[in-house]
Amino acid sequence: MNIVFGILILVAIIVVIAVVGIFLVTGLTGAPYVPTLKDKLPKAFTELYKMSEKDLLIDLGSGDGCILNEASRTGAKCLGIEINPILALMASWRFYKNKKIKIKCRNFYTFQFPAETTVIYAFAESLHIRSIYRKIQAEANRLDKTLYFISNAFDVPEVKEHKKVDSFYLYKIEPKD
């Protein structure tokens, strides 16, 4: 009995260490898991960028999927790219009945955007915002189309935003040769 109890305690400790480790390691690759404040969010998809069923939004680092959920209400298709397998699994489970939402457990820096992509959302952090902007520019060049980028809380240094509403910055990224 004591041995079984000891094994259970050991398994529980290993699970806790694994979960904490996954959140720590994945948080270092782009941004730690902190969800966007939901009360301001609808404005991002109405006043800042008028989203519709013609759009495909990608959330770079989709966390619990709250952005995908809000964006899908506009009729847009939504794709979440999340490096943390626990969050990706939980969000996939949460939205498995919603045909507008798909989630992939991937690193967004190496993910190629689908050709129908129109708008990209990110709640990253200042250290990563330039790299994320460069990634979206590279995808705009590859797809040879204009992409819109909504950044929550962080502006891109030395780049003039197209529009700003509350904490959301909108950038229009044109393809370059």
Ligand X SMILES: C[S@@+](CC[C@H](N)C(=O)[O-])C[C@H]1O[C@@H](n2cnc3c(N)ncnc32)[C@H](O)[C@@H]1O
Does position 127 interact with ligand X (CB under 6 A)? The reply is no
Say how far apart CA 79 and CA 1 lie, in whole Å: 48
Does position 139 interact with ligand X (CB under 6 A)? The reply is no
Does position 88 interact with ligand X (CB under 6 A)? The reply is no
Return the HEC string of 155-166: CCCCCCCCEEEC
Of 12-41, binders to ligand X (CB under 6 A) are: 26, 29-31, 33-36
Nearer to ligand X, 33 or 175 (CB): 33
Give min distance, CB of 10 to ligand X, in A: 27
Does position 82 interact with ligand X (CB under 6 A)? The reply is yes
Buried b / exposed e over 74-107, threshold 16 CB at 10 Å, is bebbbbbbbbbeebbebbbebbeeeebbbbebee
115: exposed, middle or buried (Cβ count in 10 Å: 0-12, 13-18, 19+): exposed
H-helix or E-strand containing 128?
Answer: helix 126-143
Number of residues that bind ligand X (CB under 6 A): 23
Give min distance, CB of 31 to ligand X, in A: 4
Candidate residues 67, 91, 120, 150; the one interacting with ligand X per rule CB under 6 A? 67
Does position 61 interact with ligand X (CB under 6 A)? The reply is yes
How do strand 77-81 and strand 147-152 relate by DSSP bridges? unpaired
Interacting residues with ligand X (CB under 6 A): 26, 29-31, 33-36, 59, 61-63, 66-67, 81-84, 87, 107-109, 123
